[in-house]
Structures are given as C-alpha cells and as structure tokens.
C-alpha cells in the first residue's frame, strides 16, 4: 500500500486544502446605514433619511459655532488677565522705583548746598590769611617749615 491509497500524500502532487474564507467584519451602525441595502428603499424613506442627516449636520454646525464663540470669549478673558498682570507688574516696578527715588532725594537733601560750600570756602580763606598775619607779627616764623634750597650748604 502507498500513501496515495491511504488518502495522504506528502509528495509534489499533493493538493493543499482550500483556505477558509475570512468571516465578514462586524457591521458598525454607520456602516450598516451606509451599506447598500439588498432591496431598494422607497423615495419617502430616502427623503426622511436625508432630512435627518441634514438636521444632524445643522445641530453639529450649531455646536461648532457655540464652541467657537466660547473659545473666543475665553481668549478675550485670558488676554484681559494677561494685560492686568502686566499692568500690575508695571505698578509694582513703579512703586519700587518711587521708593528708591525718595531715598535718593533724602540723601541728597542732607548734603550741603552751594551757599554753604561758598561760605565755608570764604571763611577758610579769611582764617588762613588772619593766621598767617598773626604768625608773622608774633615772630613765630620758626614754627613754619623751612624750604630747602638747592645748592646752598649750612655753615
């Protein structure tokens, strides 16, 4: 007996079994609605279905418009908040600058003015002259430092 007589063969003349067809994918509701029906629908049902689709499209457009308006309002609110924050930051910067300027103004106010400086210079000049005259009249020249002259020797 050969393998062919028993119904099995492993040679080149063996015929493979036929592949099984894949099961159809499960139908989704959208696919079931769009799939071509096996029998034609009457015109009234087609017009009703078209009216329902148009109604759904209209509602979707309304929702989109409302969402767009809402996003526009949110954008405006965010922009206003950002402007307020910038203004607040500027105000705090200005307040710090004002405080610094007040401190600087206080320090400069405590400095002597031009009149006080001129008066001090005049008084210093007058006192210097008076003291020099007093030193000369009282023969206190020896208290003044002597200038060394070049080329002369002391004897």
How confident is the model over 19-49, as pLDDT tens digits? 565 555 555 555 455 555 566 778 888 999 9
pTM of the model: 0.36
Angle at alpha carbon of residue 106, lines to 103 and 112, rounded to 5° = 145
What φ, ψ does residue 7 adopt, rounded to 5°?
100, 0
On the 0-12 / 13-18 / 19+ scale of CB atoms within 10 A, 103 is: exposed
Element (H, E) at 78: helix 43-109
- pLDDT above 90: percentage of residues in the chain: 44
């Amino acid at each position: 007996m050969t393998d062919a007589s028993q119904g099995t063969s492993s040679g080149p003349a063996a015929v493979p079994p036929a592949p099984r067809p894949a099961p159809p994918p499960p139908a989704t509701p959208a696919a079931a609605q769009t799939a071509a029906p096996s029998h034609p629908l009457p015109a009234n049902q087609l017009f009703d279905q078209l009216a329902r689709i148009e109604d759904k499209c209209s509602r979707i457009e309304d929702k989109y418009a409302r969402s767009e308006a809402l996003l526009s309002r949110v954008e405006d609110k965010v922009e206003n908040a950002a402007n307020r924050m910038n203004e607040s930051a500027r105000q705090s910067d200005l307040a710090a600058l004002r405080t610094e300027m007040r401190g600087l103004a206080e320090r400069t106010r405590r400095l002597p003015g031009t009149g006080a400086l001129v008066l001090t210079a005049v008084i210093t000049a007058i006192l210097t002259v008076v003291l020099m005259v007093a030193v000369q009249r009282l023969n206190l020249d020896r208290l003044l430092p002597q200038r060394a002259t070049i080329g002369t020797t002391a004897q």
